[in-house]
Amino acid sequence: MTYQNVGEDNNTSNVKPVNKLTTRTSNLEIWQEIIALTRRLYIQAKRKPSILIAGLIQPLLWLILFGALFQNIPINLRESNIQYGLFFSPGIIIFTAFNGSINAGLPLMFDREFGFLNRLLTCPLISKNSLLIASLYYIVTITIMQTSLIVIFNKIMFNNISNIKQIIFIISVTGMISISIASISIALAFILPGHIEFLAMILLINLPTLFSSTALAPLSFMPYWLQVIACINPITYAIEILREICINDLLIYQTSLIKTVWLNLNLENSLYILIIFNLISIVLARVIIKYKCE
């Protein structure tokens, strides 16, 4: 750091810095920081395995109970009748990823309340983005593990996932939903004042997001106003993509998925919408973290 005299005397009060002090950090140090933060989240999950077990059991109960309750209802999907369980299972896969990702900001919220986040920000933390990357990596691996169990159960019940291409698409779409929803959850953890408000927000948006999507029923079953909300809901596009993947072995990108009076989107358009939603969520979370941490 260099200094410049602004007065004729040698008074130190008239000396101001010309250049700011900068430190150099390597990518290796940042990755070590991300690994340490991610490992801490895994240790927390290991100490509370009941949360992971509940996250595995709950979607299976939904799939079994709802599939049994509405098993005799034929779903007319693109001029073919399918069983309700087969129709419902992609919605359960996405909702499992959504349900796990919406809680991604809860550890950061508790860190704020217990003062651990302030300790990270005052000295040891090299990059603010490490908090976001570590939380996203942790939640994506957890949700993919949970949804893998649903996929295996779905394979046993309906025998509809038969090739590796379907599995790759399922993991990719599930990962995109996990990243986008987790980014929003992390942003809420920095905005909301405490964990009570955070949990209230989760309860407020959890079930409405499920019922305003095509997880339980196709768009043709919905009233006009609910179709509008379902088309705004990004979960709808992920569910429809997975539904097309699980039902049909051949993936045709021009297949019409969202078809209403005012909107007609195919599989390729739905993928673009998910990617754009992902990018917006990540950028929004980074901006909020940077603003709150300064």
Mean pLDDT of 113-135: 79
Copy the structure tokens of residue 61. 């109960």
Q: With CA atoms as reference, report the closest residue to 149 among 243, 63, 37, 245.
A: 63
**Distance between CA atoms of residues 275 and 176, nearest Å:** 7
| pLDDT value at 259 more than 70 | yes
Q: What is the mean pLDDT of residues 30-51?
A: 84
144-162: average pLDDT: 75
Q: Is pLDDT at 64 greater than 60 in this prediction?
A: yes
In terms of pLDDT, which residue wins out, 18 or 270? Answer: 270
How far apart (Å, rounded) are the C-alpha atoms in residues 251 and 69? 30
Q: Using 50, 70 and 90 to split pLDDT, how confident is the model at 3? A: very low
User: What is the Cα gyration radius of the chain?
Assistant: 24
| Residue 62 to residue 33: CA distance in whole angstroms | 38
Domain ranges in the chain? Answer: 30-293
**Least confident range of 24-28, 29-33, 102-106:** 24-28
Residues 225, 231, 237: CA angle, nearest 5 degrees: 150
pLDDT in tens, 196-217: 888 888 888 888 888 888 888 8
pLDDT, residue 143, reads 85
Average pLDDT over residues 190-195: 86
